[in-house]
Amino acid sequence: MSAPVVLANYIDGRLCAPRTARYLDVFEPATGHAYADCPDSGKSDVDAAIAAAQRAFPVWAATPAAQRALLLNHIADRLEARLDEFAQAESRDSGKPVQLARSVDIPRAVSNLRFFAASATQFASEAHAMGNEAINYTLRSPLGVVACISPWNLPLYLFTWKIAPALAAGNTVVAKPSEITPATAWMFAQLCIEAGLPPGVLNIVHGTGPDVGQPLIEHRDVKAVSFTGSTRTGALIAAVTAPQFKKVSLEMGGKNPTVIFADWDATSANLDTVVRSAFSNQGQICLCGSRILVERGIYEKFKSAFVEKVRALRVGDPQDAESHLGALVSQAHFDKVLGHIALAREERGKLLCGGHAVKLDGRCADGWFVAPTVLENLGPQSRTNQEEIFGPVVTLLPFDGEDEAVQVANATAYGLAASVWTTNLKRAHRVAARLESGIVWINCWMRRDLRTPFGGVKQSGVGREGGVEALRFFTEPKNVCIELGDT
């Protein structure tokens, strides 16, 4: 067995070992075996990163937007040149199929950097004239040191989604990637060094939530926190930061409905999209549609076609281009998902397919694989239809009419995303307006325009990311009023 890869923190422009001298095992989900050592950092590492960011802030904030954009594009160029290397690393770290990382995750990380680089040079403010008496204009200044905490399901994709607008707006950043999937953030730090990003502008501290995340969000010199992860952790961040009046953006869980009306365009391509919306990345995307609501008139026909498509999905080695689904991210998450399937059985749900762990041969014999699972006969208020499973598990629910569809779709504590399938344009507008959701797709899923606001309602989130919303979050507005009188 080869020696483990030893990862490092990125503080003040240098890769460095944790001051704690402790490390965490990083597991390859497909094999179930540790392959790398991740810094198990602590408060002293966080303090050093924040101090470096503070030192770098005055110069970085004063750097012209065009120069900041140029540096972000230099990093994007290097990432794009090493796309396949990063895709392989992302797949190994997270268990997702390598073709998904190659076609979506890493290209999207490149797009995030390029989009916010361009946005920095186009970020406009407002002016309000008061007749001939006075004029008001708004200055938007970077906040200072900000914390960006990203999750394990889309590691580099969501890491860059946070740091790119923060840096573009002139802030300096202390970032905490997930300790479960840290490899590509470590590799990204090397790109930053190669691209000439000034020391301290971006700092990356690896470690656990209690030992790194907690002191990071508590630190008095951190002006804002951008977090993507579980609702439970988001609630903790909100409680800790509220007394300090920090700016907070929280993108959290989802129990997203896919609503299919009897008049939907039942093409094979559309059915493929519904299947993809349920099981992409093993269902480990906050936007996946885990509750599929189907109008009763087509329920049985839809169920038959849907289950047939799901049964054709191949669970296999993430490195195999033929695999549709890879491994779940960790042993703990694997156990959680199987526990939810057992709960669904206890709730007397009917298993239509899947429902079991998948055992593979060869190098993946000890991996954490679960078959794509479809259940029915579970009521809207069952725990299976209320709790976020975040795995390859979906439920089918019949409904009668538009009002019931909306009622059932809204009947959870979450409100991140929804998709609606209908050829009736008026119905599409009506239902979209009534759904309690931050994002609604009509006859599609995961169509993303980086200019649009992204985020959820209820327990799915607070605030919005994306486009001008992200740049506004990472800046402080100041109104300046000038008297225009004769004197």
Q: Which of 28, 90, 251, 295 is the catalytic position?
A: 251
Task: Give residue for tokens 């899923």.
Answer: 445
CA nearest neighbour of 344 among 329, 359, 354? 354
For residue 394, report the phi and psi dihedrals to the nearest 5 degrees: -130, 160
- Look up 476 and say whether it is catalytic: no
Residue 54: CB atoms within 10 Å: 16
Residues 88, 98: contact at Cβ < 8 Å? Answer: yes
Sign, CA torsion 376/378/382/383 = negative
Alpha-carbon distances of 40 from 155, 179, 206, 292, rounded to whole Å: 18, 8, 6, 40
Q: Residue 31 has which token pair? A: 């094999």
Residues 273, 249: contact at Cβ < 8 Å? Answer: no
Residues 250, 237: contact at Cβ < 8 Å? Answer: yes
CA distance 349 to 343: 9
Residue 149: CB atoms within 10 Å: 26
Q: Residue 390 has which token pair? A: 């975040």
CA distance 93 to 329: 8
For residue 138, report the phi and psi dihedrals to the nearest 5 degrees: -110, 125
Residue 273: CB atoms within 10 Å: 20
Give 228-232 contacts, CB < 8 A, sequence gap 24+.
228/149, 228/150, 228/151, 228/158, 228/161, 228/162, 228/252, 228/286, 229/149, 229/151, 231/388, 231/414, 231/459, 231/460
Task: Give residue for tokens 């906050």.
Answer: 286
CA distance 259 to 408: 10
Give 309-315 contacts, CB < 8 A, sequence gap 24+.
309/271, 309/272, 309/275, 310/275, 310/278, 310/279, 310/353, 310/354, 310/372, 310/374, 311/353, 313/275, 313/279, 313/372, 315/358, 315/360, 315/369, 315/370, 315/371, 315/372
Residues 399, 420: contact at Cβ < 8 Å? Answer: no
The C-alpha R_g of the chain, in whole angstroms, comes to 23
Q: Which of 38, 192, 286, 288 is the catalytic position?
A: 286
- Look up 192 and say whether it is catalytic: no
What is the SS3 assignment for 251? strand
Catalytically annotated residues: 251, 286
